[in-house]
Structure 1
Amino acid sequence: MTTSHPQRGAARTRVITQAALALAQEAGYAKLSIEAVAARAGVGKHTIYRRWPSKGLLFLDSLLSQNEPDLDYPDTGDVLADLRRQIYAAVDLLGNPPWGPLYRALIAEAQHDPAVAAGLNERFIRPQADKTVARLKAAQEQGQISRGFDLNLAMAVLSGPLYFSLLITQEPTTHDYVDRVLEALFAGMEPRH
């Protein structure tokens, strides 16, 4: 009878996910294969498939488990400054290697693999959206945002232009662009006296 060793399993998982990320950075996600990851990690393919039923789910886990970014919102009492600070951090992270190209590849994979889409939404997109809405709600309760403004819509209006530049035009998302998006959004959310 064999007993499982959680530390050994965690170490093996780390080796596999690091191998997947390294190979994705070297050759691109499209050329990533379970066979290549297994060879780099020094494990059998069955070891990988037992934990991740697809290349996309392995890549999702690899990217989101490696030093997950701290994209929490500060609450300084100035919602605009807090949003600006957090969004600057996000665009700096997603606009540059290694996260930028890998995150775009993950979004692309999510378009074809419902399990990857669900995992990405559950582990990254939804938590970030919830943090944004919570920060906006606090500002709304403090009178910094119109009481009647739909905060989920504010989240969509805020993230849409950022994803558009990241995924569609692939132009650098500058801090100036973020400022312009925030200015446009807040023009519609200001309390009416």
Structure 2
Amino acid sequence: MLFCLAALAPGYAMAAEADWGLLQQRLHQAGPAEFRYEETRSLELMAKPWHGQGYLLSGSDGSLVKLQLSPQRVIMAISGPSMYYYDPGQGQRRSAALSYAGDAAEQIRVFRAILQGRPEDLRARYDLTAESRGESWRLRLSAKTKTAGSALESVEIAGGADPLGRQVSIRQADGETTEYRLEKTGEGQALEFSVQRLLQEAAGD
């Protein structure tokens, strides 16, 4: 029996590597990129889901900007070791070290890896399974309970015939779920100006 299991082990290893290879292929991204998003957040204590929409912009230096346009304009950004929040309607501007993000830091890490095409940042904390049917595909990241150390339980990334569209579903251990519908709307160095401009607005420079 042990011999049989040992004989199967290389097959499992090859399958796992193939799954990570597929994730790399699906997430491949070089340079700045812009995504239009629709977000739906569900909580057990919420009477109805919360909805938001806007744009996500990724900079060549690893910066990530979330420009929420609805239900109100808000800028949330990560640049280097810092995070920023700016709500012009409420006159609120805050900044803090990313290390103070708590459980949200892991969600930021995962989203960065997805939008910036860096799945290698996730291998130490997550197991990956992949499935594909025709033009539809789905990738599921499940937290390794011994090493994750965060509130995230799983992340699913799915897509289909449209190479610019994808869906991302994030489930936390407390039951909260967040779903994003993403559509890539631009890429290339021309977007770097928009990323830096929004970072400056968020930081108040």
Output the TM-score relative to the length of structure 2.
Answer: 0.27
**Higher relative contact order structure (alpha carbons within 8 Å, sequence separation ≥ 6):** 2
Task: Considering fraction of residues, name the structure with more helix.
Answer: 1
Larger of the two Rg values belongs to structure: 1
Output the TM-score relative to the length of structure 1.
Answer: 0.28
Task: Considering fraction of residues, name the structure with more strand.
Answer: 2
